[in-house]
Structure 1
Amino acid sequence: MNKRRVFVAFLLVALLSVGLFSAANQPAKAHEGRQVGPYTIELGWVIEPAYAGVYNGVEVHISTGEDEHTDEATDEHAEAEVIEANLQIEVSFGNASKVLDLEMSGNEANHYIAAIIPTRAGDYTFHLTGTIGETPVDEIFSSADGEFSSVEPISDVLFPEPEASIEGLQNRISQLEALIAELQAQLTELQGQ
């Protein structure tokens, strides 16, 4: 097996391990809540803290305040009524943005998820649009506000450090590209003589 395949396999195992470790050891979820008409919207990462390069998702919970109540006679929780929603979310990082569809979670009513792998550490902004019932939704959430986590660098939890980092490889490629450009200029100069 060549070195590149070994490195890619190691990197995939490391990223999956971090994702599984994070999912199993999550602290209480930090989500930002908003009141939109009669609905409460809570938005945040599926896995917090979120790490760059690790599979994650943006999750949205919708409730009416009447969703969770206890029947005092039987002491049983009543199930939440499914709220009809048609939502999409635009994820932004710096000048880059991408629109994602929110899909209803298969195991929880009024819980929507858009899968994403945040590729860079830092603050992300989410623009939630669409409708909940008849109520229009146009809300902006940002991890910079501190209500939910910003994306952390994967290096914070990797141990030991991989032999070659993606950033290191990109720097080396840039150096080689500069060297190639310099050699091409010298070759052109020699051909002109």
Structure 2
Amino acid sequence: MKILVFGIIGLLFSIGMIAPSFAHTTVHVEPYEIEAGWGIEPPVVGIRNDLILKVIERGEKEGTFTGITSAFKDVDATVMFGGATKKIDINSDPKPGYYFSPIIPTKTGTYMVELKGEIRGTPIDIKIPIEDVEPTAVLDFPPTSSEGAADVAALKNAISSLQQDVSKLKSGETEVTSDGGTAYDFAIFGLSIAGAAIILAIIALIKRK
């Protein structure tokens, strides 16, 4: 019985009777509906994605619509984040009325798509907010946050200890009595190695994240 149920669900997905839910935003510019969102959701920083746009015109019968082809022939599209903007090329999907533009979001937060121009004589000047880009933590497994916090704390302690040693050596609080300059040079050399080790540890931590 279970096999039969799962088989029916799989069949419904394959023929499109059950569709995934997307957090897309729809704006009405009569007579058109313009929808914008991400191709892969949730969108994650640093991972390639697509900005998805759909331009349709509703039919007389409820639930029917026509996809608008060549909708971006006279429309400029710009992706916006904070004060940063970038004009993007819009590619046509084989399905009429559907469009996409590849993008790799580099920061977490809210993105917007600005459209300016005209579609078949209808002026278009809109900004459409799309779903916020998330940090990689939403996909990380196993979680690394606690381990990362411990590593950062350990590095801070090591740097603080190194700074104290250098300060004591310069002030004379730490005595170097063996052969004067040579011993002092060795002490500085040892502290330099410790400093280099800390820097390498920081680089390794950054790469791991």
Instruction: Tell me which interval the TM-score lies in, with the shorter structure as reference length.
Output: 0.5 to 0.7
Identity of aligned residues (%): 31
Report the CA distance between 1:83 and its aligned residue: 3.3
Could you tell me whether the CA contact under 8 Å between 1:104 and 1:112 is conserved in 2? yes
1:42 is the counterpart of 2:35: yes
Equivalent in 75, 81, 89 of residue 101 of structure 1: 89
Give me the whole-angstrom Cα distance separating, in 1, the residues matched to 2:61 and 2:40: 23
Q: Secondary structure at the match of 1:51?
A: coil
Report the CA distance between 1:119 and its aligned residue: 0.9
Give me the whole-angstrom Cα distance separating, in 2, the residues matched to 1:96 and 1:81: 31
Aligned to 2:76: 88
Give me the whole-angstrom Cα distance separating, in 2, the residues matched to 1:123 and 1:111: 23
Q: Runs (4+) of structure 1 moved beyond 6 Å?
A: 67-70
Q: With CA pairs under 8 Å and 6+ residues apart, which has the higher RCO, 1 or 2?
A: 1
RMSD between aligned alpha carbons? Answer: 3.3
Higher percent of residues as helix? 2
Equivalent in 103, 112, 120 of residue 133 of structure 1: 120
Aligned to 1:151: 133
Give ranges in structure 2 of 5+ residues lacking alignment: 1-18, 160-209
Give me the whole-angstrom Cα distance separating, in 1, the residues matched to 2:100 and 2:61: 20
* TM-score of the pair, normalised by structure 2: 0.53
Give me the whole-angstrom Cα distance separating, in 2, the residues matched to 1:81 and 1:41: 10
Give ranges in structure 1 of 5+ residues lacking alignment: 1-25, 71-76, 144-148, 176-193
Report the CA distance between 1:67 and its aligned residue: 9.2
Report the CA distance between 1:48 and its aligned residue: 1.5
Q: Across the two proteins, how many residue pairs are aligned to each other?
A: 131
Could you tell me whether the CA contact under 8 Å between 1:83 and 1:132 is conserved in 2? no
